[in-house]
């Protein structure tokens, strides 16, 4: 079967192509998830729409928000001084060897990580704690979806077949955000469990808290009940341990080839506690 | 459907007719006989296929060829200048950093990107640069030694 390839130069052209060819078309950016699927016939679209030439690789300030174009790569996040000052957790997550390798990060995009919607997506959890919005375009116009409402299942999102993620938009966030993950090796490691947290303190007590978990549910998960436990409380190691356990109680990890549900729940709770401690500025007794 | 791909390979403007599912690796090896990038895992994991596109190390096995339209691609064959080996090639030779050689082009390309940005990296930075390049022979130590040696050649203003 013959596949058509399009490399539109404008957004209008791109969304028109998607509208014309949906649902048999796929959007190609870095291709790090799509091309392996094409190669083993897990995907067989009739058309590929390459979005690398649309000028969607920007990272810029828009008012008080940080706007990251959907085609910005992981390497761009790490190299961006704007990301390092406004949302350093993204630069750290994209920069750590555990999340991937330089050859992948030079191609893999922010939009692609969200659109592929693996429950283990390493950028999803930090973006969730940063209260990110996903900006989407189609021939029907633009719409914005809060990231916490974006994922609907493993590999599934609210995106319609003819819709394109254009931008991820992040508000100015108070506090310190931390991302932690556990994988099976030091680099290029799919998360067995990952977490991101954000803690903003006021007068020594937690004022804003966000906790997100990956790889322990069908979607990357916010944990509002665990977050509420901490509001108004002083940072405390035992409290954070209890909070980590509460966060994992709200999840539904499974046994799979990488790890068991028991491991994910146990290690995940400890990971959340450790991340909260780091975000709240507690000295970390575990790190050597 | 066939499409014309026009791009620059190791400094030479090149036109080749491709299908959308041909990868950059397929085009380099099978159409252009540039065989330094290797078919290893073909899923983007092992790094043996790594080449530079616009100076950035990418996995040619999962890069669709048409996405490099108009771009410049560099493989190990393109790193030498005027008959002089790139500092990394010289350093790999001097430090015995190759055994079977299968991973070597990918290793050199990944380290070449690092040295362009950071002419005098430390051992940890070199390790991170090759985090996605597997070697089954050497145990990596001499590869890192070579990266350090190449860094000091670059720093002293050697070729490239």
Choosing among B132, B133, B140, B147, which should be mutated to test the A contact, i.e. which has the most A CBs within 10 A?
Answer: B132
pLDDT of residue B83: 87
Q: How far is A53 from A178, CA to CA, in rounded Å? A: 33
Nearest by Cα to A189 from A101, A64, A113, A262: A101
- What residues of chain A score a pLDDT lower than 70? 1, 284-288
| Residue B74 pLDDT exceeds 70 | yes
Across chain B, what does the average pLDDT equal? 94
B105-125: per-residue pLDDT in tens? 999 999 999 999 999 999 999
Q: What is the DSSP letter of A73?
A: B
Chain A touched by B50 (CB under 8 Å): yes
Here the tokens at position A76 are 């761009």
| Residue B27 pLDDT exceeds 70 | yes
Residue count of chain A, please give it: 288
Largest separation between any pair of C-alpha atoms in chain A:
65
Here the tokens at position A216 are 């322990």
pLDDT of residue B160: 38
From start to end of chain A, where are the E strands? 4-6, 25-28, 47-50, 59-62, 65-69, 133-138, 141-146, 151-153, 156-157, 164-170, 176-182, 193-202, 205-214, 221-222
| Residue B154 pLDDT exceeds 90 | no
- Per-residue confidence at B92, pLDDT binned at 50, 70, 90? very high
Q: Is A240 helix (H, G, I), strand (E, B) or coil?
A: helix
**Residues of B (110-129) whose Cβ lies below 8 Å from A:** 110, 113, 128-129
- On whether the CB atoms of residues A262 and A245 are closer than 8 A, the answer is no
Q: What is the DSSP letter of B28?
A: I
Chain B residues inside the 8 Å CB shell of A186: 131
pLDDT of residue B82: 85
Q: What is the mean pLDDT of residues B14-21?
A: 97
**Residues of A (91-110) whose Cβ lies below 8 Å from B:** 97, 100-104, 106-107
Angle ∠(A98,A270,A252) on CA atoms, nearest 5: 85
């Amino acid at each position: 079967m013959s596949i058509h390839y399009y490399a539109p130069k404008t957004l209008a052209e791109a969304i028109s192509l998607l509208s014309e060819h949906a649902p048999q078309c796929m959007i190609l950016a870095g291709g790090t998830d799509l091309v392996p699927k094409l190669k083993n016939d897990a995907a067989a679209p009739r058309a590929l729409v390459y979005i690398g030439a649309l000028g969607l690789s920007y990272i810029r300030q828009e008012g008080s928000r940080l706007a990251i174009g959907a085609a910005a790569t992981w390497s761009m996040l790490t190299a961006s001084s704007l990301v390092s000052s406004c949302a350093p957790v993204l630069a750290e997550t994209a920069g750590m060897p555990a999340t991937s390798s330089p050859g992948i990060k030079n191609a893999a995009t922010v939009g692609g990580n969200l659109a592929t919607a693996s429950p283990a997506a390493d950028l999803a959890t930090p973006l969730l704690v940063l209260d990110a919005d996903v900006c989407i375009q189609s021939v029907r116009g633009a719409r914005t979806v809060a990231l916490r409402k974006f994922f609907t299942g493993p590999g599934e999102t609210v995106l319609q077949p003819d819709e394109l993620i254009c931008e991820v938009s992040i508000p100015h966030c108070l506090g310190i955000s931390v991302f932690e993950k556990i994988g099976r090796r030091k680099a290029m490691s799919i998360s067995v469990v990952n977490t991101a947290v954000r803690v903003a303190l006021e007068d020594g007590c937690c004022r804003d808290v966000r906790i997100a978990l990956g790889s322990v549910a069908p979607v990357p998960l916010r944990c509002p009940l665990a977050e509420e436990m901490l509001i108004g409380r002083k940072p405390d190691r035992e409290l954070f341990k209890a909070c980590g356990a509460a966060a994992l109680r709200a999840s539904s990890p499974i046994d799979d080839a990488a790890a068991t549900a028991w491991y994910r729940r146990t290690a995940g709770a400890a990971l959340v506690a450790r991340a909260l401690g780091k975000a709240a500025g507690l000295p970390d007794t575990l790190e050597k | 459907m066939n499409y014309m791909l026009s791009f620059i390979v190791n400094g030479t403007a090149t036109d080749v007719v491709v299908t959308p599912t041909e990868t950059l690796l397929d085009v380099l090896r099978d159409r252009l006989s540039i065989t330094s990038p290797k078919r290893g895992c073909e899923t983007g994991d092992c790094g043996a296929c790594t080449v530079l596109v616009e100076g950035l190390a990418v996995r040619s096995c999962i890069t669709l060829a048409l996405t490099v339209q108009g771009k410049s691609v560099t493989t190990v064959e393109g790193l030498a200048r005027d008959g002089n080996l790139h500092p990394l090639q010289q350093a790999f030779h001097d430090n015995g950093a190759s055994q079977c050689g299968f991973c070597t082009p990918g290793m050199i390309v990944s380290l070449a990107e690092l040295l362009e940005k950071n002419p005098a990296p430390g051992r940890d930075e070199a390790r991170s640069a090759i985090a996605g390049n597997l070697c089954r022979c050497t145990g990596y130590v001499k590869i890192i030694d070579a990266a350090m040696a190449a860094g000091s050649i670059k720093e002293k203003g050697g070729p490239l």
